[in-house]
């Protein structure tokens, strides 16, 4: 499956809206799952910082350029905080 940036580039407006709606729902579910302890969040983020997918080079947004995941398009300093957040490559241990 192509990563999300490639999929978005190939979408029509309806598909793009469906994708956005799905991602908002997914983010909402992760947020209400609660926070992980600080040590787990830090361990996750350390994995991300060493990952080849850390930082979205094609993004025009400075924060996403520097700290986004180019696979899931999430802002990683926030994503690592929530219990139900998942690394799309399954690189996190917890």
Cα–Cα dist 54/73, whole Å: 10
22 touches ligand SF4 (CB under 6 A):
no
The dihedrals phi and psi of 38, each to the nearest 5 degrees, come to -55, -40
Quick one: which segment of 9-17, 28-36, 56-64, 86-94 binds ligand SF4 (CB under 6 A)? 86-94
Shortest separation between residue 57's beta carbon and ligand SF4, angstroms:
13
Cα–Cα dist 12/91, whole Å: 31
48 touches ligand SF4 (CB under 6 A):
yes
Q: What is the DSSP letter of 2?
A: -
Tell me which residues touch ligand SF4 (CB under 6 A).
Answer: 47-48, 51, 53-54, 69, 71-72, 76, 87-89, 91
């Amino acid at each position: 499956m192509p990563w999300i940036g490639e999929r978005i580039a190939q979408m029509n407006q309806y598909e793009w809206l469906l994708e956005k709606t799905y991602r908002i729902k997914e983010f909402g579910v992760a947020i209400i799952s609660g926070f992980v302890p600080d040590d787990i969040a830090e361990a996750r983020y350390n994995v991300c910082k060493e990952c080849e997918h850390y930082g979205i080079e094609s993004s025009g947004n400075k924060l996403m350029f520097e700290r986004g995941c180019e696979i899931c398009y999430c802002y990683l300093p926030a994503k690592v905080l929530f219990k139900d957040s998942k690394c799309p490559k399954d690189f996190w241990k917890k």
